[in-house]
Structure 1
Amino acid sequence: MTNDFWLERWVSGKIGFHQEEVFHKLIEFWPKLPTNSKVLVPLCGKSNDMVWLAEQGYQVTGVELSPLAVMQFLADNDFTFETTQFENGMKVHMVQELPLRIIEGDYFKFQEQGFDACYDRAAMVAIAKPERPNYVKHTIERLTPSAELLLVSLQHDGELNKPPYSVLSQEVIDLWGEKISKISSENLTQLDPQYKARGYDFFEESVWRF
């Protein structure tokens, strides 16, 4: 998927991947980290999971390509913010009410390092298989050697050539390394009729940590 594909999805409002509520498995499985730990949220969209993380006392950095998604996130939460633009075209929006900032631009141009944790609910599954190794490598380079990761993957029997992509468990292990482990897994078609209605017979959502 090209950048233009995702920009168009936001402009046309085709953002079924966005969830208004905080993801319950984030609350259940997020590791206890020291206050002010730096948390990276790649391809963050306008997820309110970032608000929850910031409310826990972490310094949260979301990175998002779509200017529309960024502005909607800031407006929906009625945040006061200051914006700085850099020479590479990326913008930083600093929220005043919480320890939270949004980097607006291409994630692969984001070069900051030293993050203590990463939260990926819908980033890796939005990236086509050929680009996933590059995504994982780029993300790991942003993290400290002892960083924590909370990752959500999906495996389903739906269309394989469009997001959310189905990612096999072995691929997750191959990409992130042997230190990653699956801590939760469930077939959502057994819990929510909307998945059956969308044509899935199997839609497994797994949570991983290292």
Structure 2
Amino acid sequence: MITNEFWLERWQTGRIGFHLEGINPKLIDYWPTLAKQSRVLVPLCGKTNDIIWLAEQGYQVTGVEISSLAIIEFIGDNDLTYETEHKGKIKIHHINELPIRLIEGDYFDFQENQFDACYDRAAMVAMPTTLRKKYVEHTLARLADDAFLLLISLFYEGEKQGPPFSVDDTEITQLWGSKIRKLASENLMETQTEYRDGLYTLFEESVWHIDQK
């Protein structure tokens, strides 16, 4: 059963293989140029430095994360300072050095909307089948009608099961709607040795856009 406690325990025990060091190259390659001060949402952000990169492009970045440990490590790893306010069930950590807010709490308790863009590298694929539709609907409700989405998905075959979960193209289109478009795919078994452990016969990472402009 994938619950908030499951993810909190993963952070506490350091089992965070989903964390990507450095900046995700696909973010750099496929993120468009948006207006300065655009509001960018990063669901289930962990301690990714991708939000640093987005902030450095001139965007107002909001990351949402259940684990206080992930937030503490992000702040400490980057030598940042912050101020915290409480708002209902969530805490809002305002980073002083960059236009970043870290929302500590359950993503489904986060109700702000009218974000100009969303970056999802490992959020949708962290959701089991029972929560995936709820996650997508909640995310779309956070976005403005003309918002941009960069989604990175996984589809794999083999013995090992998620999380991260395998989500095929048909389900992605059903969940996100007809405006989503696949831009690129890469079989990670061909480029990264850690996927050649015999547990997979295919491990494909794909990049998707919703661009309303």
TM-score of the pair, normalised by structure 1: 0.97
Q: Residues of 1 paired with 2:77 and 2:112: CA distance?
A: 27
Whether 1:122 aligns to 2:125 is no
In structure 1, the partner of 2:32 is 31
Structure 2 matches for 1:20-169, cutoff 5 A? 20-88=21-89, 90-159=90-159, 161-169=161-169
Q: Residues of 1 paired with 2:198 and 2:25: CA distance?
A: 22
In structure 2, the partner of 1:191 is 191
Q: Does the aligned pair in 2 maintain the 1:186–1:205 contact within 8 Å?
A: yes
SS in 1 for 2:179: coil
Aligned length: 209
Q: Does the aligned pair in 1 maintain the 2:160–2:199 contact within 8 Å?
A: no
Whichever residue aligns with residue 57 of structure 1, its letter is G
Distance 1:175 1:37, change over 3 A: same
Whichever residue aligns with residue 72 of structure 1, its letter is E
State, as a whole percentage, how many aligned pairs show the same letter: 57
| C-alpha RMSD of matched pairs (Å) | 1.0
Q: Give the deviation of 1:57 after TM superposition.
A: 0.1
Q: Does the aligned pair in 2 maintain the 1:160–1:166 contact within 8 Å?
A: no
Cα offsets for 1:142-196 (capped at 9, x unmatched):
0000000000000001356530100001100000001000001010101111101
Distance 1:183 1:73, change over 3 A: same
Q: Residues of 1 paired with 2:117 and 2:123: CA distance?
A: 15
Whichever residue aligns with residue 180 of structure 2, its letter is I
Distance 1:122 1:84, change over 3 A: same
SS in 2 for 1:93: strand
SS in 2 for 1:186: strand
SS in 1 for 2:55: helix
Q: Residues of 2 paired with 1:83 and 1:63: CA distance?
A: 14
Structure 2 matches for 1:2-21, cutoff 5 A? 2-21=3-22
Runs of 4+ in 1 over 2 A off after TM superposition: 158-162
Distance 1:198 1:97, change over 3 A: farther
TM-score of the pair, normalised by structure 2: 0.96
Q: Does the aligned pair in 1 maintain the 2:160–2:200 contact within 8 Å?
A: no
Q: Residues of 2 paired with 1:69 and 1:159: CA distance?
A: 29
Q: Residues of 1 paired with 2:156 and 2:179: CA distance?
A: 24
Q: Residues of 1 paired with 2:103 and 2:198: CA distance?
A: 33
In structure 1, the gaps of 5 or more residues are none
Q: Give the deviation of 1:20 after TM superposition.
A: 1.2
